[in-house]
Structure formats: C-alpha cells, structure tokens
Structure 1
Amino acid sequence: MKEGWMPETKIPKGLDLIKPTIVSLATEKKRTNTEHKKDYFLDKIKKTPESLLRAQTLEMPNDLVKPELSKNARVILKKRYLIRDTNGKATETAQDLYWRVASNISQADKLYDKNAKIIESAKKFYNLMAQAEFMPNSPCLRGAGREMQQLSACFVLPIEDSLESIITTLKHACFIFKTGGGCGYSFSRLRPQNDQISTTGNNAGGPVSFMRVYNAAIGEISQGGIRMGANMGMLRCDHPDIENFINAKSNMTAITNFNISVSATDDFMKAVEEGSDYDLINPRTGKIVESRNAREIFNKICENAWRNGDPGMIFIDRVNNSTSNPVKELGLVEATNPCGEQPLLPYESCVLGSINLSKFAKEGGMAWNQLREVIYTATHFLDNVIDMNIFIVPEIEQKTKGLRRIGLGVMGFADMLIKLGINYNSQPGVEMGEKVMEFINTEARAASQNLAKTRGAYPLFEKSDDFKRGDPALRNLARTTIAPTGTISVIADCSSGIEPIFALVHKRKSIWDKSGAKIELLVVDKNFEHIIKERGLDSQELMDEIAKTGSVAHSDKIPADIKNIFVVAHDLKPTDHIKIQAAFQKHTDNAISKTVNFPHSATVEDVKEAYLSSYRMGCKGITIYRDGSRDTQVLTVGSDQKPTETLVAPKVEPRERPDVVQGSTEKIATGMGNLFITINEDKEGLFEVFAQIGKSGGDAGALVEAIARLISIALRSRIPVDIIIEQLKGIRGSNPVWQNGELILSPPDALGKALERYLARQKELGLVFKQIKNQKSKIKNLFEKSSIKSTNLCPECGDILIYEEGCVKCPGCKLTKCG
C-alpha cells in the first residue's frame, strides 16, 4: 500500500457515537458491594504465575537502536523513572529502562504460547519507546520489572450508601495512591445531607462531607512518591445535594485533591435547553424530593467553572450508550478516572499508552502503513500489560481481566499538523483529526480481533453488544482513549495529547546563576525555533517580544504563512477546542481529556455556550479553564448577584535584614525550662524573634528554634502581629507553670505572650507600629503598585502552572498530576 495514501476505513455497524438513549442510571436498581463482588469473580480469569511476573530481565541484544532523547527527556527520566540506589544515584540508563519495560511486558506472551519467542516481542516493544513512536503510561514505564509491578494508571471504585463501603473504598484508594494510580468515584449512591440514619437516629452528612474526608486522607499520601495525587469526584445531576456539590470548590482551598464533575443525563440536558424543571431523587428511597429548574442548576455549574474550572461535566447517558460500555447488563458506568477520559465500571482499571503522531507526518502526507504497524504492536503491548500487572485489590483484578479494557491514545497532534502545514483551528485541521483517529480506532479494533483469534475474547465478551450483534470476537472491551500525556510527551519530545501548543516562547523563572541571583530562561517550541532560524528571523529581541504573550498572532515581524501554522491555545476560540475534541470523540471508544482554554476576559455566558456546544457536538464531557481564574478570589454577594473578582496581593517576599536592629530579651519560665526570647525590630516594625530553651542540640531547643524562625519569616513578610499572637497564645502543653501570677501553658504560649507584652510596652511609649495599624492598606497598596497578579506556581520549581488535557502541569520542570 502506497505511503501517504489514506485507505478507506469503515466503522462496523452499530458503533455510531450518538445513539438514542436506551438506558438511564435513574432506572438502574440499587446494587451493593456484595453484588459487585458476586458478578465478577469468574473462574475463567487467567492468573499470571509469579515466575512470569518476577522473571529476570532478558539479556539486552547488541543491535538495539539508541533511544532518541531530548535534554528535557533525559532530565525527566533521571528524576522520575530510572532505578536509583540507596544514595539516590541512578543505576540504569534510558536504554536500560526501555529494555527493562519491554522485557517484562513481553513475558505475558508465554501465557498463550509456552514456546513464544518473547525476545522478538521485547525488541518490538523496545523500538516503540526508543524511537519515541509510542509510550506507555507513567506507572508502566516506571514500574514494569520492579518490585511493585503496579502498571495501571486509572481506577474507579464504588461507594455504596454504608459506612463500611465508604471506609473500605477509602482504604483501597489509599493503596492505589501509594502505588502511583489515580481514582474516580461517584458519590451519587450516598443519601443526601440531613437524611435519616436509622441505626443511630442521627442525620447524614451527605456526599460533600465524605468528599472532604477522602480529600484529607488522600492528601497525606504521595501518589507513588512521584507525582501529585489525582482524584475525580462525581455526583449525578438529580441528587438532592447537587447544589452543595457544585459549590464544593468555590473556596479554592477546599477539596484540593479532587477534580469534580457533574454527571449530567440526557433528560437534564434536554430540560436545560427547554428551561424546564427536573426531579431530584433521594438515592436511599428512590423517591422524588423536589423539582428544580434545570437551567438554574446549569447556570450554577457554569458560574463555578468560570470562577476556577470546577465542576466539569460528564454526559453520562452518552457514555453508557456508546462503545465506552458495551456490557450494560453488567452495570452502568457511573464515574471516570481523574481527568475524565476513561469511563470505567466499578472496580475496573485501565492501562494507557499514546502514539506520537508527529513521527508519522512526512512530506507526502501521513505514513499510514507505518502507523498501522505501530497500532498493532501497541495494542499487543497494552494487552500484555493487563496480564503483567500486580493488582492490590482482588475485585479490581477480576473486573479488569474480565473486560480487558485498554486505552490507546495519541500525542503530538499539534506537531503533526505543523509538519503537514495545516492550521490547528481550521476545517482541514478538524478533518485531519477525525481522519487520523478513525484510522487508529479501526485498526486498533482489528488488532484486538486478531489477538482474540489466538488468545480468546475477553472473558465477559458474551455479555456484550458486539456479541449480540454477531460481530467477531474482541480481545478488549474498548481500545482507544485520549489521555493526558504529561511527562510522557516530554520524553517523546512532542506536543501534549491533542492540545494545541500552549506557548511558542515562555520564560522560566526558577533558574539561579552562580551568585544566587534569580534569572529567567527562555523556552522555545522546537518546531518554531527551527523555522525561525531557517528563515533567518531568530533574535533575542524577537524571542523576548513573543514571550510576553506566547503567541505570534499579532506580531508584524513574523511572515503570514508562519503565523497561520503556529497558533497557540489562547489564539483559539473555545469552539475551536471543542471542534477538535468532537472530531476525535467520533472515533474514540472511551473519552478524551482536553481543556477548553478561555481568556481571562471570558464571561459566564461564554462558558455556558461552551458546555452546551460540547454536548451538541457529541463530546462525552468537558473541562474548561479561564486564564488566571485560579489566581483570584471570587466573591458572590446574594443569589442574584453576578460573580465579581477581588484580586489578592502579589507573592509575599520577606524583607531584607538591615545591618542593625534593636530589641530586648525576656526570660520566661515554662514547663520545659527557662525560655529566653529576644524580639527585634527595624524601622518598619517587629522584625524577628530568637528563642532558646535548654542546652543546644536538644529536641525541645530544636522545636522552639523552629517556631521562632517561622515567626520571624511571618514578621518579615508583614503578617499582622496580632494574628501571630492569636495563633500562639493558648497552646497547652503537658506541664503548665505559673510566673508572676500568670499561667504559662507551653513554650508557644510563652512566645505569644512575650510578643503581646512587647507591643504593650511600645504602646505605653507611644510607639504603636504602623505594621499593625496600616496592615490592610499596606497590602492593598502593594498590589496596586504591582503589574503582576499572584499566580499558581509549581511547588517544585516555581514556574507558572498551566492547564491543559484536563490537568495541571508545569511547563518548566514538567511536574504533573497526570500521565
């Protein structure tokens, strides 16, 4: 077959994305945890013997190609993926890593053919990664061939309306987070707030209260010790607590370990369009509690999304009536993974991997034959991953192996379009997206059918729509997903998922020179840098100018043909994002993780239109982010008021220490010994505190010194002194003592009282600090003088976080919550 020619592909009958609604979650009978277990413990689930799971890495052949690695890829691999010794030194190279993964995953071939030539499979798998044509998800890339061997990226766990279920699921979630996975949950089965609890006579806390419990517990657990934790909390639109859920993240310091999405039914969306009422139903009783106007609830969803990006929406009936769930008689999808692209049944997990589309863009068009070969090998790889996975929860193993869902996706789409000379926000761009995904989806299905001929269909295939239609057996329930590619796109040196380029040039602000001074480093998109140098346009002045916005759309120094191809996220209208997402969704079994980016000036009406457009165009869900919306505090006064913004002060920096400060030292008796407290001030006011108790080197002395240092940082950062005093006074220790008629509860209490007395003495002398009197006006003035808003900064490197693929990520050090 001639390269560059797109072969005709046909979607099998019955696989259209949008079908008439044939099921509704509201009509499904209530299930219990026991019923979940009973359905899925199947005798025909194949167990992988320990001898394969723990097989030694095959000897590396001498003829392997060397990995293609950019500088950023080497940094990421070294920092987050390579095996290290006890001193933190890497003990393997990138080539060793790829071979370790390939060798381990190839072992699964022996389950189906004891004479399998696994070295041949290992070579194919290795080449996919080394040539950056395909990358598996991070848990697989990091964990295959190592002790933990947990290779799945995403999970959905059930939450039934019982304390036992709530706690059991939380326990399972903690285990999953410890091994590097992310979880989704539907809280829709929980009875509403203030509903009856017959066993105790108390009132229920409701779904949002238990989300807070989960948030606090999971926040204490690092996701695999590598990346920030990720969760998805979902609630049905017809749950009586839906309004509380919608507002759950209006305070941006609340439920910070969750993304949240409203599970919207077709009936709800129809009522939104018509402006009619719909019913809220108590899941405990199945009875209607009240009726609400659907458009009012929808407006609240959009207003909160405008504020800070949450909640998103999942169109749940569409999910269940598509290829996302061909086994509806086993149950309905109620939740997705943390970024929304992977609808899963309760206790199901999924393995993900992404093809780098930029590798197949050639001068004559797309290399379709080469792409087909990679699709077949990648499908084989992902099917093997299921067998080589060590599942930490038995129910998850049963469901995952019973359905064998995989998620083959893409990355590098924007790079592919640039190489082909196609504008991202154009009709040819949309058509190319649909064309390439149709090809991948069709070939992945064919590859799964091919595997089923030698390995058998997935064990629950006979319960599927495909079986009932008489279609050929499939090895995997669903095959394609567009997942966040986070760090794996950095390793593959390509653009993220199906997102546009975020910025052609941006400045990293986390680099220091040898003297310790902070400097800025320009980061330039590689394709843009190449063409600018090729045209002789490269200059520091031009790069600095582009870095101000990241875009060349309004630059008069860039030729029109370059501006036409090199578009960035904020050059696009929201509908441009949605058109691309809808084009890919037409030919994706599962769903898509993509962020619809809005400028800061966007209105709530703009968000409403985007949410409605995504539903009308056939998407299964939507996530939006308005630029800078998480950098502001948003206040709503009264139910009829439109949201307004109150900007917060810029990032606080402690003021420099002058050469000379003045103050006094006080001795206070505490239950741990005499505490010596020195309080100093500069010209502005209270500046620092030193504290010493007992002998140097003791635990008590260390703790007191730490508290004093934190007080000093707070004072130097102009935190009001009365707030500090309020936090310290009243902290009670195990051995309070009396001094001069005053009870000293503990060393922190003594520090608070010492600060209070110092202020009292100054007041007596008429030296009340401006620091206290004018603190609020000072902060306001600081902000008004600054041209920079406060920003969400990366906790690891200090660069500005961005939002794309439904995920938070850092363009500098590549820290991400996903993939």
Structure 2
Amino acid sequence: MIKRNGQVVPFDNSKISVAITKAFLAVEGGTAAASSRIHETVAKLTTQVMGTFERRMPSGGTIHIEDIQDQVELALMRAGEHKIARDYVIYREEQARKRAQKRALSAEAERAAGAISVLQPDGSRAPLDIERLQTVVSEACADLADVSASKILEEALRNLYDGVTLDEVTTSLVITARTLIEQEPNYTYAAARLLCDDLRSEALEFLGVTQRATQQEMALYYPQALQAYIAKGIQLELLSPELADFDIARLGAAIQPERDLQFTYLGLQTLYDRYFIHSNETRFELPQVFFMRIAMGLAVREDDKNARAIEFYQLLSSFDYMSSTPTLFNAGTLRPQLSSCYLTTVPDDLSGIYGAIRDNALLSKWAGGLGNDWTPVRALGSYIKGTNGKSQGVVPFLKVVNDTAVAVNQGGKRKGAVCAYLETWHLDIEEFLELRKNTGDDRRRTHDMNSANWIPDLFMKRVFEGGEWTLFSPNDTPDLHDSYGADFEAKYEAYEAQTRSGELKLFKRVKAENLWRKMLGMLFETGHPWITFKDPCNLRSPQSHVGVVHSSNLCTEITLNTSDEEIAVCNLGSVNLPQHIDENGLNLEKLQKTVTTAVRMLDNVIDINYYSVPQAERSNFRHRPVGLGLMGFQDALYKQHIAYSSPEAVEFADRSMEAISYYAIQASSALAEERGTYSSFEGSLWSQGILPIDSLERLAESRGDQYLQIDRTQTLDWDTLRERVRAKGMRNSNVMAIAPTATIANITGVSQSIEPTYQNLYVKSNLSGEFTVVNPYLVNDLKARNLWDKVMVNDLKYYDGSAQAIDRIPADLKAIYSTAFEVEPRWIVEAASRRQKWIDQAQSLNLYINNASGKKLDVTYRMAWLSGLKTTYYLRSLAATGTEKSTVDKGTLNAVAAAAAPQPAPVPKACSLDDPDCEACQ
C-alpha cells in the first residue's frame, strides 16, 4: 500500500475493517443492540473490498490508500448503507481539510478569534490575544507525541463568545484538552500545562510579580515568586516565620520550572484543589514553590538547612519520592502536623474512654488518621463494681467515636477517619462484626468508621483444626490483651479451663469455623471488619522488649506498640518505584540515593512535628518510628513488560522490597551514627542483630512450619549490614511500611501503592471532579502494533476497561494488561508475602476477588495467614452487574462500580480519592 506521503508499507486488511467500523460507530453508535449488526456487516463488506483487489491483482501488487478508500465507499453504496457512505465521504473530506491546515488555524477560526473581545477584571474589554493563546497551547503540546496544538485551539475557540472572561478562555482550553484524553493519553499533560497557565496567572498576580507569564518565562519569575510567596505567607500567618531565615535567593535559583511539565491533569488539579496554600480561595502557591515550601519545612532543623532544602526539593519535585499528605499539607506552616497516623489503646474506665475520644478529635483536627484498640473495654453484660450494674459493652462507645470522626474533620480538608480494632476472643466480637450492617438497631451501628479484627494465631489454628473457640470479657481475662505467641496460648487455655470448672462465669463457646465464616460473611457483605493478625505483628516487632502491638492503624500498614501512656505515631512517605526502573531493570544506585534522603526527611518529621496530645509526643521521641513505603508497583511491572499474574512479578516484588529494606535500614543506621540511636534501642531486635528477614524465625518457631509458607531467599550482603546495625545502632525503631498512597500516587501520576491496575480505561470521580483515566502503557504498546484507534477506545469502553475480550489485542498484551479483578488473588498474596519478609511493619493490601464466594474468601484469607502476612486491607469484589453499554459511543464513560455483592450497601472503596476516608495515611 502506498501512503499519502509516498511511503510503501505492507497491506493490512484489518485496517479496512477498522475504517468501516469507525464509519458505523459515527452514525449508529456503539450500543449493545447495534454491536452485533455492525460486526456482521463490517466482516461482509471487508470481504467484498478484499475480493475486488484480489480479482484485479491475483498475484499481488501495490494499491494507493485513496484507491482503498474509494472501494470502501463503493462497497457501502452497493450494500445499501447510504447514510454510512455519506458520512464516510464527509469524514474523508474533513480529514483532508485537517491535513491541509494542520500547522495553522483555519481562516474560519482566525475570523472567529478576531470577533471576540475579552472582559477584563476592571470591566473594560480587550481583543482576544490569539498570539498568546497560540504560544501557551504550543508550549502545552511541546514534545508530546500525537498531540495537536491546532486541534485544541480551534475546538476551544468554538466555545468562546464575545465578552468572555479570561478565566473562561483558560477553562475552554483545559476542557478541550481533557476531552481528548481517552483518545490520546498524552493530552493529560497538555491539559495539566494549560491548567498551570491559569495557576500562574492567579498566583503571580496575587504575589505582585506579574499578571501573566508563559512556561518559558518562569525561569525568570519563579525565583521572584518564591521570595514574594514566603513574605506574603508569613504576613498572612499561613507560613512559619522560620522560613524567612533561609537563603531565599539560593533556593529560588535551584527551582527547576521545567518540572511543571511532568504533571498529569489529575495530579495538578488535585494539588490545586486541596494542597496549595490559599488566601480567601486565591491559590498563591505554584507547583515548584509548593515543593520548595515542603523541603524548607523539613530542613528547618538541619545544620546546613539551605543545602538540605535543595536536596529535599530535588527529590520531591522529581517525583522520585513523595511525602505523605499531612506533610504536604502542613510542612512549613505555623502548625506543622506532619505525621500520618496515630494508634491508641482505650482503657477500661469511663474517664479513659472519653479521654481517648477527645484525643481522637484533637488528632483528627490536624489531619491524622486514627487506629483505636478497643479490646480492653469490658463486654456487654459484664459487672461494673462502681454502680453494681452491668456494662453495655464496647459498641455504644463506638457509635460516639463514629460521630466524632464525622464532626471533627481533618483540618477542614478531608473527612475524619478512624478504625476500631477488637481481638477475636472479646465477648462483643459477634456484635462488633455487624457494625456496618444497614439493618438492625441504628444506635448500635457505625456507618462512617472502619473496623478490623485483631486475630491471634491460636484462633486460626482452631479454624484449621475444626476446634472450639471461647469468648471472654477482658475485665475477667486482662492479661490476654498483652500476650501473644506461646504465652497467649497458655493463658488462653488456662482461662478456658476456668470456664469448665465454673470459676469463670461470663463466657461463650462457639465453633471457631463458624465465627470465621461470620467474619468473612460480614467482610463480604459490608466490607468490614478487615482481617489482621496479632501474632506476626508482635513476634516480628523490633520493639517487643518495651511493649505490645495492640492494633494497626487506619490503613493496616502500621504495627507499633500502644498503651495508656503512649499513642503510637508514624511518619510516612513513598518511593516512586517506576522512577527507578531503566533499561536494565531496577536501578539500585539511584534507589539507594533516593532511600537515603527519604529516610532523613522522615526522621526530621519527628523533631519538627506539631503534637496535639502529649502521649503522642512522648512515644514519637522515645521510639522515632518511620514508615518508608513504595508506590507505582504496577507501573514498574509495565515498564519491564511483566504481567502481575506471573512468577516474574512475584520475584520483582521480592527483589525490589529487599533493596528498599536494605537501603532504609542502612540509612537509619547511618543517621544513628550521625545523630544518635533512638532511646529505646537497647534490648530491641535491632540491638541483637535481628533484622526483619531474621525475625521470620521467631514466627516459624511460634507457629510451627506447617502453618508458615514463605520464601526466605535473599540476595544482598545482609551479614555486613547486620553487624553494622548491632555496632552503630538505629535512629528509628521502625523504618518501613507500605501505605495506600491514594492521593500522592495521583499527584505523581502512577498507580497507587502495590495495587494492580483497576481498569485500563475508566472515569474517576473525586472531590475535584471527573477524570478520564487511560492506561498509557497499554496505549503505547497498542500504538507500536498499529492497533490504537477509535474502535479500540470504543471496545475498551464496551468491555469495562478490560483487554481480555478484544480479539485484536495479542495474547502477550492481554496477560500484561490484566486488570485487578482478572488477577488471581494468589498472585497478590504471594507478592505481598515476598515483601512482608523484608518489612518491619506491614502493608496496606487490598484483595480483589472476581465472582467472590465463601469458598474463595476462605481460601484467600487462610492463604494470607499461612503466607506470613501481618494484615490485609479492603476486600474488593466485582459487582454482579456490569456497566451499562448504551453510552459507549459517547465522549463520556461510565464508572464501573466495585461493590461487595450481592447486597444493597456498596462496599467501601479501596483507599482512593473516591473515598476520602481512606486518604488519612497518604
């Protein structure tokens, strides 16, 4: 075939089918009713066109592309498809016109632009500055493949009118670009850059730097903007006066304006709506100023704070690493509450209970996510000595906690978020399981908070062995709360003996399997309580010498000791894993550099942090825990062309986490040498030379090998690091935890945390609006094989973002681009197991199960326990009904519901912008 540019390429008859399908879709749409007719007719017409050429040239030959299109027109006319043929002719003429005017605005657009005057802020009018618009749009499209500046500009001009405002001009450009994202993912960068032009105008004018500036001019204006921003922020009492002590000129010179270009539209819009500092709703914080403000806030206690601020800025603005949301919100402000999550234990007395609820409110106010251990509180029907009455149990207090979380949101920026934990032997456990049901007494329901089971290994053994399980009130069995492993088993069995002798009156005996089924049933029906495991959290805890882990946090990745005197605090941030993948795989040298700086930043958080309650400050300074995690695991697989459902992905999970673990421990030990060890270091597992990989032996010894199935392979020089830690110490009691990264993954434009891709094409709805999300890796691979076109877009919509049913997509790509519900849970669990052996805390692990059943849930969660996981997070089950297909031909998409089915209440979404409750960690 001869192309229009004269190039000769091999003939491909599938392109005829695609061209005819496009014509039908343009006229008839892609409804389910039309789909079958279209497929049959297209196949028939393609055969006719091919037959014509085969008769003309039985031995082969060369055909011009225009000749092929002529034959398509004839075939449509002969088949009686006159309307389709007419639209096909019109389409060909339109494409010819576009080709002729590709590099310039059409005369019509030029005339339209000349007739438009723009309403100025002072009420006057001025001609539309078409030259500037062309410059801005051209800058927005620079170096972006398959993106057309003229296409954006012409379409935007059609939506303008005489008397339009400047804001409306910018909005028209942005909306035009974002509507094109589903056809070409690179338009997300163009839309972000056009949005950035609007941000520049708003911020620079407020700061008095200039009224408008192009991206190219920001090399001049960014240093000026930083200086004006610091002064204005301090004046408005929004920024700490300490920031004025930096060498602002030096920091301004270090800003890299070109890093504004790496944002996706979703990422930049999220920052604008919810992160940038504002005054009376005017955002005067620009993207690179934002990153520099955070860097300054984290470097304020450093000896060479200017050099460190630049180092921190380079890491953040490159997207190689991102701090957690509270740090992004509050670094450099008057109340720098930078920590992500807080864990508390609620005591068994009225004063202590309401004191804990008060602490929840104060911590939530400053953007902290909460995990509450409610196990010590006595059960329903237990004796109250002070009143000679009987307790109402844990549940009524949880209703108060639920309503407090609703009333005290996180600094007015997102909803309050709390998770209650209860141990499986607690007499109130059965009612606790039903907290999120939509039926029953609403006074004993908590519809807005999360809940989690805190499960001892002994219970899981009884489930496997078909044994009985006894429920107690904690005021009768107080030492069970602080026991784990063999010690717990001995004490628990002693209390069971007391129930048989009559010494202990208040108890209930159930079949362990029946209670386990109810746990899974409620998880299936309501999404709660989550399944977490007490013993691996404690047996592998480096801090078992100074306390007990009684719960995890809001997102199930933190495993720190709590007590009446100490509220555990964790400070989070995440390595952007795909940023550390090159043509040779994982770039260990770059990863080491990133992790070393990241751990320093996290350690700084502890000293700078604002503590709203004294128990949190006491705990954080004593143990100095941090939680370095990762995000973009799925993107890292894509970059290496590895399928999530594969041994290679499991191996990559192992090796990447091993490297992060090694460098994080190494970095904390180096900080200990520089700054001193944390105060409770002596007696810890670290001080004994027991690293996270070594602590698996403690779990294996407690459980027995038959109940632990985990790969223990290691590849790095752990002996040398082990000796270094023993000799030099550790700066931090804990250094690793994999958080959900919902928001910061959106900011950096990667897949969240360790999640498989939700869908390859869908609409994401959140507090900032609706965003089309397209998998750019899939698009690029399809482009490389000449398979990306409007028909493919339509097919992806029709099949809910799945590639599996699209015949044109090759099998190797289908394997790589399997979506979350197409990945068998065993691969998710196995990859998590490989990571868990390296992590001293835990990981937020969502489990995706298609066509969930009791048996599938049972197998999956038993496998999670046997694989040594410490915690799991949300169960996500695909709804029984799919997306309505009647709108697949339109420019909008349906969001595919992910709900626990069958039941009327929607399952809570995995930590994502769709459900702000789940953002409390990231």
Please report the TM-score for the alignment, with normalisation by the length of structure 1: 0.69
- CA deviations over 1:229-271 (Å, ceiling 9, x no partner): 2211111111111111112223288412322111111111111
Pick the aligned partner of 1:260 from 423, 430, 451: 451
Pick the aligned partner of 1:333 from 518, 526, 549: 549
Pick the aligned partner of 1:572 from 814, 818, 823: 823
Conserved? CA contact 1:352–1:408, under 8 Å: yes
Residues of 2 paired with 1:807 and 1:73: CA distance?
16
Residues of 1 paired with 2:361 and 2:765: CA distance?
34
Give 3-state SS (helix, strand or coil) of 1:157's partner.
Answer: strand
Listed as ranges, the matches of 1:427-466 within 5 Å are 427-466=647-686
Superposition CA RMSD, Å:
2.8
Conserved? CA contact 2:520–2:858, under 8 Å: yes
Residues of 2 paired with 1:123 and 1:619: CA distance?
38
Summarize the Cα distance change of 1:336–1:452 in structure 2 as closer, same or farther, 3 Å threshold.
Answer: same
The alignment covers a number of residue pairs equal to 590
Instruction: In structure 1, give the amino acid aligned to 2:785.
Output: R
Residues of 1 paired with 2:669 and 2:284: CA distance?
40
Pick the aligned partner of 1:617 from 867, 870, 887: 867
Residue in 1 that maps onto 2:289 = 96
CA displacement at 1:120 relative to structure 2? 1.3
Residue in 2 that maps onto 1:32 = none
Structure 1 residue ranges (4+ consecutive) displaced by more than 4 angstroms after TM superposition: 508-512, 788-793, 800-804, 813-818
Summarize the Cα distance change of 1:167–1:440 in structure 2 as closer, same or farther, 3 Å threshold.
Answer: same
Residue 425 (structure 1) aligned with residue 660 (structure 2): no
Summarize the Cα distance change of 1:266–1:335 in structure 2 as closer, same or farther, 3 Å threshold.
Answer: same
Pick the aligned partner of 1:217 from 404, 413, 423: 404
CA displacement at 1:791 relative to structure 2? 5.7
Instruction: In structure 1, give the amino acid aligned to 2:308.
Output: S
Residues of 1 paired with 2:906 and 2:415: CA distance?
13
Give 3-state SS (helix, strand or coil) of 2:383's partner.
Answer: coil
CA displacement at 1:536 relative to structure 2? 2.5
Residues of 2 paired with 1:278 and 1:228: CA distance?
37
Conserved? CA contact 2:320–2:576, under 8 Å: yes
Give 3-state SS (helix, strand or coil) of 1:247's partner.
Answer: coil
- CA deviations over 1:142-192 (Å, ceiling 9, x no partner): 100112210111001120000001100101100111111111011110110
Pick the aligned partner of 1:484 from 730, 740, 753: 740
Instruction: In structure 2, give the amino acid aligned to 1:283.
Output: P
- CA deviations over 1:526-545 (Å, ceiling 9, x no partner): 22223333332222232122
Conserved? CA contact 1:404–1:458, under 8 Å: yes
Residue 342 (structure 1) aligned with residue 558 (structure 2): yes
Instruction: In structure 1, give the amino acid aligned to 2:408.
Output: I
CA displacement at 1:457 relative to structure 2? 0.3
Residues of 2 paired with 1:809 and 1:250: CA distance?
24
CA displacement at 1:595 relative to structure 2? 0.7
Give 3-state SS (helix, strand or coil) of 1:555's partner.
Answer: coil
Give 3-state SS (helix, strand or coil) of 1:344's partner.
Answer: coil
Residues of 1 paired with 2:764 and 2:682: CA distance?
54
Residues of 2 paired with 1:790 and 1:589: CA distance?
36
Summarize the Cα distance change of 1:341–1:196 in structure 2 as closer, same or farther, 3 Å threshold.
Answer: same
Residue in 2 that maps onto 1:106 = 299
Residues of 1 paired with 2:326 and 2:610: CA distance?
12
Give 3-state SS (helix, strand or coil) of 2:475's partner.
Answer: coil
Give 3-state SS (helix, strand or coil) of 1:128's partner.
Answer: helix
Give 3-state SS (helix, strand or coil) of 1:155's partner.
Answer: strand
Give 3-state SS (helix, strand or coil) of 1:537's partner.
Answer: coil
Residue 499 (structure 1) aligned with residue 499 (structure 2): no
- CA deviations over 1:310-333 (Å, ceiling 9, x no partner): 1211111110011xx222232101
Listed as ranges, the matches of 1:610-759 within 5 Å are 610-627=860-877
Give 3-state SS (helix, strand or coil) of 2:737's partner.
Answer: coil
Instruction: In structure 2, give the amino acid aligned to 1:80.
Output: R
Summarize the Cα distance change of 1:297–1:453 in structure 2 as closer, same or farther, 3 Å threshold.
Answer: same
Residue 282 (structure 1) aligned with residue 473 (structure 2): yes
CA displacement at 1:468 relative to structure 2? 4.0
Residues of 2 paired with 1:551 and 1:187: CA distance?
42
Residue in 2 that maps onto 1:74 = 268
Give 3-state SS (helix, strand or coil) of 1:338's partner.
Answer: coil
Residue 529 (structure 1) aligned with residue 785 (structure 2): no
Residues of 2 paired with 1:152 and 1:789: CA distance?
33
Instruction: In structure 2, give the amino acid aligned to 1:486.
Output: A
- CA deviations over 1:462-484 (Å, ceiling 9, x no partner): 14122245823000001111101
Listed as ranges, the matches of 1:55-70 within 5 Å are 55-57=242-244, 58=246, 59=248, 60-66=251-257, 67=259, 68-70=262-264
Residues of 1 paired with 2:844 and 2:918: CA distance?
18
Residue 321 (structure 1) aligned with residue 577 (structure 2): no
CA displacement at 1:292 relative to structure 2? 2.4
Instruction: In structure 1, give the amino acid aligned to 2:644.
Output: Y
Residue in 1 that maps onto 2:371 = 184
CA displacement at 1:790 relative to structure 2? 11
Residue 539 (structure 1) aligned with residue 789 (structure 2): yes
CA displacement at 1:228 relative to structure 2? 2.5
Residue in 1 that maps onto 2:418 = 231
Summarize the Cα distance change of 1:165–1:521 in structure 2 as closer, same or farther, 3 Å threshold.
Answer: closer
Give 3-state SS (helix, strand or coil) of 2:254's partner.
Answer: coil
Residue 271 (structure 1) aligned with residue 462 (structure 2): yes
Residues of 2 paired with 1:582 and 1:81: CA distance?
34
Summarize the Cα distance change of 1:463–1:54 in structure 2 as closer, same or farther, 3 Å threshold.
Answer: farther
Residue in 2 that maps onto 1:807 = 911
The more displaced of 307-316 and 393-402 is 307-316
The more displaced of 435-444 and 573-582 is 573-582
The more displaced of 617-626 and 374-383 is 617-626
Give 3-state SS (helix, strand or coil) of 2:545's partner.
Answer: helix
- CA deviations over 1:482-513 (Å, ceiling 9, x no partner): 1010110011111110111111001357999x
Q: Which runs of 5+ in 2 are unaligned?
A: 1-238, 478-494, 500-506, 690-722, 885-893, 900-904
Pick the aligned partner of 1:85 from 279, 286, 301: 279
Instruction: In structure 1, give the amino acid aligned to 2:654.
Output: E
- CA deviations over 1:359-411 (Å, ceiling 9, x no partner): 11111222110111001000011001111101111110010111010000000
Summarize the Cα distance change of 1:538–1:432 in structure 2 as closer, same or farther, 3 Å threshold.
Answer: same
Conserved? CA contact 1:229–1:257, under 8 Å: no
Instruction: In structure 2, give the amino acid aligned to 1:260.
Output: S
Residues of 1 paired with 2:911 and 2:766: CA distance?
21
- CA deviations over 1:676-696 (Å, ceiling 9, x no partner): xxxxxxxxxxxxxxxxxxxxx
Summarize the Cα distance change of 1:249–1:61 in structure 2 as closer, same or farther, 3 Å threshold.
Answer: same
Summarize the Cα distance change of 1:521–1:411 in structure 2 as closer, same or farther, 3 Å threshold.
Answer: closer
Summarize the Cα distance change of 1:622–1:532 in structure 2 as closer, same or farther, 3 Å threshold.
Answer: same
Residues of 2 paired with 1:801 and 1:152: CA distance?
31
Give 3-state SS (helix, strand or coil) of 1:376's partner.
Answer: helix
Summarize the Cα distance change of 1:411–1:790 in structure 2 as closer, same or farther, 3 Å threshold.
Answer: closer
Pick the aligned partner of 1:406 from 619, 623, 626: 626
Summarize the Cα distance change of 1:521–1:240 in structure 2 as closer, same or farther, 3 Å threshold.
Answer: closer
Residue in 2 that maps onto 1:295 = 513
Residues of 2 paired with 1:808 and 1:104: CA distance?
26
Give 3-state SS (helix, strand or coil) of 1:328's partner.
Answer: coil
CA displacement at 1:341 relative to structure 2? 0.7
Give 3-state SS (helix, strand or coil) of 2:282's partner.
Answer: coil
Conserved? CA contact 2:243–2:300, under 8 Å: no
Instruction: In structure 2, give the amino acid aligned to 1:209.
Output: P
Give 3-state SS (helix, strand or coil) of 1:349's partner.
Answer: strand
Residue 595 (structure 1) aligned with residue 851 (structure 2): no
More strand by share: 1
Residue 197 (structure 1) aligned with residue 380 (structure 2): no
More helix by share: 2
Residues of 1 paired with 2:465 and 2:766: CA distance?
51
Summarize the Cα distance change of 1:584–1:186 in structure 2 as closer, same or farther, 3 Å threshold.
Answer: same
